[in-house]
Amino acid sequence: MAERPWIVLKFGGTSVTGAARWARVREIVDARLAEGLRPLVVCSAISGISDALEALIAASAAGRDPTDALAEIEARHRTQADALGVSLEDACGDLLDDLRRLARGASLVAEASPRLRARVLSAGELLSTRIGAAWLAEQGVSVRWQDARAMLTSEPARGLPAEVRYLSARCGTQADPALQARLDALDAEVVLTQGFIARNPQGETVLLGRGGSDTSAALFAARVGAARLEILTDVPGMFTTNPRAVPSARLLRRLGYDEAQELASAGAKVLHPRAIAPARAHGIPILVGATDGPDDAFTEIGQPLPGPPRVKAVVARRGVGLVSMDTLGMWQEPGFLADAFAVFKAHGLSVDLVATSESNVTVSLDLAANALPPEVVEPLLADLGALCRARYIGPTGAVSLVGRGIRAILHELGPALERFRDHKVHLVSQAASDLNLTFVVDEPHLATLVDQLHARLFGSSRADELLGPRWDELGEAPPAPQRAGWWVARQEELLEEAARGTPCYAYDPDTLDRNISALLGLRSIDRVLYAIKANHHPEILRRVHARGLGFECVSPAELRFVRGLFGALPPERLLFTPNFAAAEEYAQGFEAGATVTLDSVYPLRHWPELFQDRAVFVRLDPGRGHGHHRYVVTAGKQSKFGVPASDLDELLDLVARHRVRVEGLHAHAGSGVHHLRAWVDKATLLASVAEQLPDVRVLDLGGGLAVPDRADQDPIDLAAIDASLMAFRAVHPRFTLWMEPGRFIIATAGALLARVNQVKGKDGRRFVGVDAGMNSLIRPALYGAWHEILNLSRLDAPPAWTADVVGPICETGDVLGHDRRLPETAEGDVMLIANAGAYGRTMASHYNMRPPGREVMMPPSCR
Ligand code: PLP
C-alpha cells in the first residue's frame, strides 16, 4: 500500500467516548480511504480518564489503597467496551494488570515519581485505542494497532527536571523514512495509535505534556510525510475568539502557520501550539474541524495567503503569572538577563513575554502551558533573589490581538484600544514577529475585556474569504452558562411578581442574609457598616440593622433616612463619609450623632470652628486604587477622594491647632476589587500614618469586595482576606478594624425583571427590547458592567439565539447585554437581569420621563 499517501487524523477525548462517536470515526476513516488516502489515526484517552488516572496516582502516592480508583477506571472502560461490543479482557487485560501493579507498587512505597506517573497516565491512551482498534477490526476495517512508543522517541533531555523529562518531553520534527517504510509495509489500510505518549532514548515511557495528542499527531504527520493533518475535535475550527464565551465569534477559514501558531500560543485552546511546527517544517496542511461536521466548516492552516494586514482574533489566556525583577542597579551588568533566564530554565519554566526598563525586567510565565503547579513559583523567587529583588504578580491574564502585520494597522485599532482605559494593564508586549499585540491585565477583567474588544473589532463583520459563519449560525452553541441563582427556585413567584408590573427589582432576603453572615464570619473585622448608597430599600436596611451592622452614609438625606427608620444610633453604627460637602452638611452629620469623616483638609482649613474639640475620622488617599472600572477606582492621582500624602503635614498641623481628635483613619480604594491584599495593604498604610496620630483607634478599610459576575468566576476568597488581616492585627493590636461594603451585601440578592416589548432582526443582528432600560439599570452603559440575562419565562428552553438585550431609552448605549445566548424569545416574556441588587435602583433615573423599576422584597423562602 506504499503508493497511497498518509493522512493523519487526530481524535480528541470527546470524539472517542461512546459507540456513536466511534461510528463517526469510522465514517471519517472510510471517507479518507475513499479519497485514496491511508489514515494514521491518533486518539486520546476517553473523556474523564486522565483525571481518573491522576486521582489514582494521588491515592497511591498518599499510600492509600488504590482499589476504588482502579475500579472506577476499569468500570469506565468496561462501559465503553460494552457499548462497542468488545471484550475488555481480550482487548485490554494485560494493560489493566500493568496498571494494577503500578498503582499497588506506588501505594506500598507511598510515592509516585514522574517516571511512574508517565507510565500510569499513558494507560488512558493505550486502553482507548486497544478498544477502538478491536471494534474497527470487528467492523471489517483493515486496521492495525501500533504502540506509539515504538514510533516516537523523545530527544535527550539531560539536566532538565524529572517532571519535564517524563511529563513534558520533546521530540524532533524530522521525517523518519524508516518508520514510513515500516508502516507502508504493514498489511492493513488503517493504522491506529495513541497521542500523548512516546519513549525516551532509554526506552522509558514519556508524555508530551498538555495537549500532547495534537503534538503527537503533528509529529507522526512529519515523520511519515503525510499529505494532510486533520485535528478533529468538538468545535469546527479556530474562531475570532473563544466561541463558547462569545457566540458571535466567526470561524476563521484560512490561517497561515505563523498566525495559527500565534493564536494557539496566545490561548486558543482548539489546537496545541506545539502541534504546528512539525507540520510547518514539512509544508503539511492542517485542517481543524469538528468530528461531527459540518464538513464544509473547518479552518485550514497552511502557507499564508497574500492580503492586507488585519486583526484575525482576540485571544484570552488565563493563568498567566508575572515575575517582576528589580535589578537594583545591576541592569548595566553584562549577563544579567542570561543569569536570570538560566534560573527560569533550571526550574523548567519557559518565559513568555518580556518587558524591560532601566531598573526592572518583568516577564510572564504561562503556568498552564508549563504544566507545572503554581507552587513552583516560590522556589523560583528564592533562586532569583540571589540576582535581584523578585516579586510575583498574579493572577493575571493576557489578551492578545492576533494577525499578521499588526504594526501597520495600529492606527485602526484606536477605538478598540479605548477599552483598556478602564482596566489596569500590567504589561504590553508587541511580538517581534509582528503577529500580536498582547496586554496583561488582572484576570477577573479578562472576559469582559475580550467581549468588548471582539464586539469592537468583529461586531459588524460579514462573512468573506477569511471569515466564515458565526458560531451561533453553525448551530453548535452549547447551553449558555447559567449561574444557579436563587431565582431558579423562585421562578414561579418571580413571574407572578412580574405580572403585577415591570420593570421590577426583586430582592431575595435569604441571599441577603447569607451575604451578611459571610461578613460577620470575618474574625479580623470588628464592625461591618453597610454602604447604603448601594441600595437603601427600607426592608434591606431593616434586615441589615437586625443583624447588628452599622450604616455608611454619604449625604444628609441618607443619614436622615436611616435615623427615620431606626432612631438615634451610636456613632459606631452611623458613619458619615461625604465628599466635597458644604459646611452645613458636616454640622448636620454631627447633629445626627454620626461619626464624621473628612476627606480633605479644606474643611479644617476654612471652617475649623465646626470641628474644634470634636472627634473625627479622616479619609486618606492610599495612592493606588483597584476596581472593575476606572470610574469606581477611588484612589490615586485621578480620583477626587481622600487626603493625599502631600497634605499630611498640613493635616497634622490643623488638627493640633484646633484640638481635633482624629480617632479613625479611613481608606476606600475602589469597588469590585478582586485583589486579595488590597485591604491589608490599606490597613498597613493607615497604621503607618496613625503613628503620628495618637488618638486613632479605628482603621476603616472601606468596601469594594468583588462579586463574581459570571459563572466561571470564583467568589472572592474572604478567608484569605481574613487571614491577612488577622496577621496584621497580631502586629497592630492597637486598632479595631471596620469595613463598609455595599455590593457584597446586596448585589447578588437583587434581580431586575423586565418584560419583552419587541424582538427585531437588523443587518444580521438580533435585538430583544425590554421595558427596563438604562434609566433602571445604568451599570452596563456606565461601566460596561456584565450582568447575566436569562429568559425567566423559559428557563429550561435550550438557547437558540444570540441577541443584544436593549431597553426603550433613546440612547445607543441603552444596552443591558451584548451577544447573549437566549432561547427563542417572544413579546411578553419576562427577562431576568441578575446581580442587580447593588447600584441598580439607587442609580436609576427618570430619563425620557420613563419611571425606573419598582422594588419588592420577596418573602423569605421556606427552604
Ligand atoms: N465606602 C465608600 C466610601 C464608598 O464610596 C463605597 C462605594 O462607592 C463603598 C464604601 C462601598 O463600595 P462597594 O459597594 O464596592 O462595597
Question: Is residue 688 pLDDT above 90, yes or no?
Answer: yes
Predicted pLDDT of residue 367: 64
Give me the pLDDT at residue 550, please.
Answer: 97
Residues 653-684: tens digit of each pLDDT: 999 999 999 999 999 988 888 888 889 999 99
Place 371 in a pLDDT band, splitting at 50, 70 and 90: very low
The answer to whether residue 80 scores a pLDDT higher than 80 is yes
pLDDT tens-digit profile of 498-548?
999 999 999 999 999 999 999 999 999 999 999 999 999 999 999 999 999
Q: What is the pLDDT at residue 158?
A: 83
Render pLDDT for 558-609 as a digit per residue (tens, 0 to 9): 999 999 999 999 999 999 999 999 999 999 999 999 999 999 999 999 999 9
Distance 560 CA to ligand 1 centre (A): 19
Closest CA to 670 of 644, 636, 645: 636
Centre of ligand 1 to C-alpha 607, Å, is 26
* pLDDT the model gives residue 496: 97
Does the CB atom of residue 705 touch ligand 1 within 6 A?
yes
- Per-residue pLDDT at 79: 94
Determine which one of 388, 553, 810, 862 is catalytic: 810
* Arithmetic mean of pLDDT over the chain: 90
Q: Output the CA 105–ligand 1 centroid distance in Å.
A: 57
pLDDT at 287 over 70: yes
Q: Residue 624 burial by CB count (10 A; 0-12/13-18/19+): exposed, middle or buried?
A: middle
Please state the rounded mean pLDDT for residues 325-332: 70
The confidence score (pLDDT) of residue 444 equals 78
Decide if 641 contacts 621 (C-beta within 8 A). yes
- Residue bearing the CA closest to ligand 1, atom 6: 703
639 lines ligand 1 (CB under 6 A): no
What pLDDT sits at residue 816? 96
Range among 202-216, 306-320, 842-856 with highest mean pLDDT value: 842-856
Q: For the residues 141-147, what does the mean pLDDT come to?
A: 97
Q: Does the pLDDT at position 350 exceed 70? A: yes
Ligand 1 centre to CA of 741 (Å) is 6
> How far, in Å, CA of 289 to CA of 539, rounded?
55
The residues near 59 (Cβ < 8 Å, ≥ 6 apart) are 65, 66, 68, 69, 103, 107
Choice among 293-302, 335-344, 531-540, 627-636 with the minimum mean pLDDT = 627-636
Q: Using the predicted structure, report yes or no on whether residue 477 has a pLDDT greater than 60.
A: no
User: pLDDT digit string (tens) for 726-737?
Assistant: 999 999 999 999
683 C-beta closer than 6 A to ligand 1? no
Say which residue, 320 or 16, is predicted with more confidence.
16
Query: Residues 9-36: pLDDT tens digits?
Result: 999 999 999 999 999 999 999 999 999 9
Out of 515, 532, 535, 552, give the residue to mutate to test ligand 1, the one with the largest number of ligand atoms within 8 Å of its CB. Answer: 552
3-state DSSP call for residue 625? coil
pLDDT (0 to 100) of residue 828? 97
Ligand 1: distance of its center to the CA of 703 in Å?
Answer: 5
> Whole-angstrom Cα distance, residue 534 to residue 744?
9
Query: What does the pLDDT look like over 618-664, one tens digit per residue?
Result: 999 988 666 666 666 667 777 889 999 899 999 999 999 999 999 99
Instruction: Decide whether any atom of ligand 1 lies within 6 Å of the 627 Cβ.
Output: no
Is the model's pLDDT at 838 over the cut of 80? yes
The DSSP call for residue 435 is: S
Average pLDDT over residues 492-503: 97
Looking at the predicted structure, is the pLDDT value of residue 406 above 50?
Answer: yes
Average of per-residue pLDDT across 752-770: 93
Whether 810 is catalytic is yes
Residue 160: per-residue pLDDT: 85
| CA-proximal residue: ligand 1, atom 14 (nearest) | 742
Contact at 8 Å (CB) between 28 and 70? no
Lowest mean pLDDT among 124-128, 156-160, 573-577, 716-720: 156-160
Identify the pLDDT of residue 479: 45
pLDDT at 507: 98
Predicted confidence band of residue 374 (pLDDT cuts 50, 70, 90): low
The lowest-confidence range among 62-76, 176-190, 383-397, 687-701 is 383-397
Residue nearest to atom 8 of ligand 1 (CA): 671
Best probe residue, ligand 1, of 528, 671, 718 (max atoms within 8 Å of C-beta): 671
Best of 743, 746, 748, 835 to mutate for ligand 1, by most ligand atoms within 8 A of CB? 743
- Report residue 60 as a C-alpha cell: 497511591
Record the cell numbers describing residue 606, joined without a space: 476654612
Does 43 score more than 60 pLDDT?
yes
Asked whether 414 and 239 are in contact (CB, 8 A), the reply is: no
What gap in Å lies between CA 796 and CA 56, rounded to an integer?
37
- Given this model, what pLDDT does residue 480 score? 47
C-alpha–C-alpha distance, residues 592 and 130, integer Å: 79
**Which residues are CB-neighbours of 117 under 8 A, at least 6 positions away?**
57, 166, 167
Q: Is 285 exposed, middle or buried (0-12, 13-18, 19+ CB in 10 A)?
A: middle
Pull the grid cell for residue 121.
Answer: 497516565
CA distance 578 to 745: 21
Measured CA to CA, the distance from residue 401 to residue 439 in angstroms comes to 9
CA distances (Å), origin 10, targets 189, 216, 272, 275: 16, 9, 12, 11
Write the residue with the smallest CA distance to atom 10 of ligand 1: 703
Find the mean pLDDT for residues 215-237: 95
Q: Which of 215-219, 345-349, 619-623, 658-662 has the lowest mean pLDDT?
A: 345-349
Is residue 845's pLDDT more than 60? yes
> pLDDT tier at 306 (50, 70, 90 boundaries)?
confident
Percent of the chain topping pLDDT 70: 95
Amino acid residing at 517: S
